[in-house]
Amino acid sequence: MLKRSIPLVFSVALSAPAAVEAGAAPENTRTEIGYIDVAPDISLRRMVTHSANQKGTVLFLHGFPETLLVWKDIATELAKDYEVHAIDWPGYGLSSRPEPIKFSYSPRDYADVLAAYIKAARIDRSKLTIYATDIGSLPALLAAIAEPDIAETIVVGDFAPFNRPEYMYESLQNLKSEPAASKTRMHMNETSAEILANTYRRGLPREKQFDLPAEVLKDMTKGWGHGGITSADAFYHYYLHFTRDQDYLEAHLAELKTPVKVVWGENDLYIKKAMGEEFSRRTGAPLNVLPGIGHYPHLQTPQDTVAEIRAAN
């Protein structure tokens, strides 16, 4: 069983991300952003978009260097049919940032946070869809191995389930071992503004590049340095334990019983789609490769994310 442990090149944007299709959400839909305690040292900022016509719950898990606001417009659209939750991971946005001696920021610890949030928020697991991207995906799968009823369905994408550095962007490879990891951490903190401005554009042709909504970029910028641990620091600590937790997943794939679907950007610069193809092949999970899309499908074409959720239910 999974042990429980809780107590970089400048680009010019040429277009905006595609709008979420369909009209405004019903008038009786409302979004609330607040905080919830899930452990003695961890309080999560969360966003909940309520629906009067709820047929289930969707929980979004963001990646690096994001915050929960990347899901806001998608949540508004989905709230026609679902109650929608999103959280800031510890180390991101305005969630807690305990010292690493208390919380390791590993995928395994994030899996514990996920399970604790679902319990604290009193979400009905039997009608829950988890949509996880990037650093959120491995924790979702580890949580599912520990508790197969963690959700009705899990959608994952653009992440590294197995220890395959050859499928990863050079800076991500460097984070997997010292001394390169510490040097990469320092460089990321020194270039935070450039990362926040451009990380989601890299690997896309000029005509596909886009700007983040100002509200989202402002929140990500504020969240990067909130507290004593930056988002780059949290990312570094995540990677300190990454190989261990990748190996755990690979060794326990047969115990993954929760239905899983895989979504991948065809032009993902950071994690090659070959990684998604291997995971899909070995687990039998259906794979949807999105043509012309990069590492952040929910930012580039949010309407595809809405469609994936509806198709999964």
What is the Cβ-side half-sphere exposure of residue 179, based on CA atoms within 13 angstroms?
A: 1
Instruction: Write the DSSP symbol of residue 171.
Output: H
- Domain residue extents for the chain: 30-312
- What's domain 30-312's superfamily in CATH? Alpha/Beta hydrolase fold, catalytic domain (3.40.50.1820)
> What pTM was computed for the model?
0.92
Query: Coil, helix or strand for 130?
Result: strand
Task: Quote the Cα angle for 166-171-173, to 5°.
Answer: 35
pLDDT (tens place) for every residue of the chain, 313 residues total: 343 333 322 222 333 344 444 444 455 678 999 999 999 999 999 999 998 878 899 999 999 999 999 999 999 999 989 999 999 999 999 999 999 999 999 999 999 999 999 999 999 999 999 999 999 999 999 999 999 999 999 999 999 999 999 999 999 999 999 999 999 999 999 999 999 999 999 989 999 999 999 999 999 999 999 988 999 999 999 999 999 999 999 999 999 999 999 999 999 999 999 999 999 999 999 999 999 999 999 999 999 999 999 988 7
